[in-house]
Amino acid sequence: MSRVESRGKQQAQAIADAGGVMTHRQILFVIFGLMAGMFLSSLDQTIVGTSMRTIADDLDGLSLQAWVTTAYLITSTIATPIYGKLSDIFGRRPLFIIAIVIFLVGSVAAGFAGTMYQLAIFRALQGLGAGGLMALPLAIMGDILAPRERAKYQGYFLAVFGISSVIGPLIGGVLSGTPEILFVTGWRWVFLINLPIGALALVIVTRFLHIPHTKRKVRIDWWGAATVVIALVPLLLVAEKGREWGWDSLGAILCYVVGGLGIAAFIISERLMGDDALIPLKLFKHPTFSMATVLGVLVGFGMFGAMMTIPLYLQLVNGATPTESGFLMLPMILGLMIASIVSGQLISRTGKYSIFPKTGTGLMALGFFWLTFLTADKPVIWIMIGMFLVGLGLGQLMQTLTIASQNSVGPRDIGVATSSSTFFRQIGGTLGVAVLFSVLFSRIPETIASAFASKPVKDGIAAAVADPAVLSDPANKKILELFQQGQSGGSLGTALDGDTSFLNGSDPRLAAPFLEGFNNATVTIYWVGLAVVLIAFVLSFFLKAAPLRQKSALQENADNEAALAAQAAAAETGSMVAPDVSLDAAEADSISDDGRAPRKK
């Protein structure tokens, strides 16, 4: 046995001997390891998004770049509940280490991909690791901290998310814009930069993440894993590609049918597997878990929809570069972190969280409503205020819904409840991006045609075309060619479905119909987002907020084991009642099932 393993077993035993109670120092070291793992996943998403155009140009696969994103999305979403369930069975630490290793192997392979097809495959491999990096840290937090204390520490994770959201586009822009670094093409470092971060995460996790785990004999839900793949792959695929294929095309209809059959097979499989299911259906018997899951889907819809469309708006309408758009997202990150820290402290002090789903969804709705008043000539501060309001709402919701889900189940189901919460939020996010982008690009031809028809725009274009300086400016060449082709306003709308660089530096009078049309189309999707978040706001009043438990999952497991041991000792001595213990085996099981201690007899 290695020194690290020996020291790890001693640490785990020390925690077990302390009744599952960890010191503040032990908790912080564990959190640092989890933060490093989460940073890997969150940074990767922002850094790759900024660099994708450069990568696609270098690999001659611009038309295939969507598959690179889709492959990562599919595997990370599917892997999330699998990691949660397996970590309940085999322990969090080995699964978290496996997730990091898989992610790093995928990063190295992606860094040396020779074609877009290879890159899509290697990004899918990365996604298999990312599913664990997203779900397991929150499950581990559920193990080592009582629900009431958990909110105080989860601000650290949102800080990681905020930092990666800001520096990711900057790093991605710098790396992809550099021809060569250490004899390797610059964009390849977008993936290779994960290696030192991942190595640090592995060192910290291997050294400090040692928590007791109670082994249980269970069946592995192979059928659940297989049917969730059959259910989700076609549905995620059509969500990503439906606009390109056509929502009523043969390929889309086939995806609907296969996905629907997969969902039916998955439900049957989970019912037959009972407590050993990948996502046990008994979880949905808890009203709190069920409502928190529904709210998670709706919040994910609004969150990912806003985060994907706002940077695009900033770049196209406000003329920001990808790097600048990352910095302009700071108000959302600032609002998210402020709300998370404040709500976390209040939850820790009061033990109550029922108000935050209401105020969180209310502020998100207010933010979307504010964004519906956007116009192309509004200063950038207007959209930044809307982002700040959305961030204030998200900061109260992301951790609160996770805590509600974890608090509604027993310690044995913490992992699967956490991963299920993350899983359904990702599903909501995927739907949000697919639906909102579909609405956006279907509206653009109509809104641009309307912009062309307005008298101020017509007069502006006429004045610009009559100006010799405008005609001779190279920056106006592409946009003038579009006008000279005699296309209608509606057909010109397709120009925004591809390369939009022709708007950069062109005369504002010539660009006006495109910018105004894109703005009006974007306002439509903010109305859609507002409607979804308002539904979440109404449903938040039906969330039953049970009192937060005072003990962590480790402490509850230790208490259960002590109760069973005392009962066994009492049985051997013939005593009727175990000393200092009032729980029998059935009562211990009841704690595992519903997370609440039974009444003493």
List pLDDT tens digits, range 114-171: 888 889 899 999 999 998 888 888 788 877 777 767 767 766 776 777 677 667 777 8
At residue 540, the pLDDT reads 93
pLDDT, tens digit, for every residue of 573-589? 765 444 444 443 333 44
Confidence bin at 487 (pLDDT 50/70/90): low
pLDDT of 592 above 50:
no
At residue 35, the pLDDT reads 83
Which position has the higher pLDDT, 523 or 319? Answer: 523
Please give the Cα distance from 558 to 564 (Å, whole number): 10
At residue 26, the pLDDT reads 75
At residue 7, the pLDDT reads 54
**Which of 419, 557, 405 lies closest to 95, judged by CA?**
419
Average pLDDT rounded to a whole number, residues 103-122: 90
Which position has the higher pLDDT, 247 or 483? Answer: 247
pLDDT of 102 above 90:
yes
Average pLDDT rounded to a whole number, residues 235-256: 82
Which position has the higher pLDDT, 209 or 476? Answer: 209
pLDDT of 517 above 90:
no
CB 400 within 8 A of CB 155: no
Residues 6+ apart with CB under 8 A from 215: none
Average pLDDT rounded to a whole number, residues 547-572: 70
Sign, Cα dihedral of 156, 158, 159, 160: positive
At residue 591, the pLDDT reads 40
Average pLDDT rounded to a whole number, residues 266-280: 85
pLDDT of 100 above 80:
yes
- Give the three-class secondary structure for 443: helix
Q: Mean pLDDT check: name the lowest of 18-32, 283-297, 424-438.
A: 18-32
The whole-chain average pLDDT of the chain stands at 78
At residue 557, the pLDDT reads 64
Which position has the higher pLDDT, 187 or 326? Answer: 187
Average pLDDT rounded to a whole number, residues 491-515: 65
At residue 445, the pLDDT reads 80
Q: Mean pLDDT check: name the lowest of 181-185, 209-213, 235-239, 575-579.
A: 575-579
pLDDT of 595 above 50:
no
Average pLDDT rounded to a whole number, residues 443-466: 79
Largest CA distance in the chain: 105
CB 534 within 8 A of CB 365: yes
At residue 129, the pLDDT reads 92
Backbone angles phi, psi at 142, to 5 degrees: -65, -30
**Which of 194, 212, 237 lies closest to 71, judged by CA?**
237
pLDDT of 320 above 50:
yes
CB 68 within 8 A of CB 186: no
* Stated pTM of the model: 0.77
pLDDT of 101 above 90:
yes
Q: Mean pLDDT check: name the lowest of 209-213, 312-316, 491-495, 504-508.
A: 491-495
Please give the Cα distance from 167 to 230 (Å, whole number): 36
At residue 550, the pLDDT reads 66
pLDDT, tens digit, for every residue of 337-382? 888 888 888 887 887 888 999 999 999 999 999 999 998 888 899 9
How many CA atoms lie less than 13 Å away from 574 in the CB half-sphere?
0
Reading the block at residue 362, the tokens are: 């209310």
Average pLDDT rounded to a whole number, residues 179-197: 86
Confidence bin at 493 (pLDDT 50/70/90): low
pLDDT of 37 above 50:
yes
**Which of 523, 522, 506, 499 lies closest to 460, judged by CA?**
506
Which position has the higher pLDDT, 145 or 251? Answer: 251
Average pLDDT rounded to a whole number, residues 260-272: 91
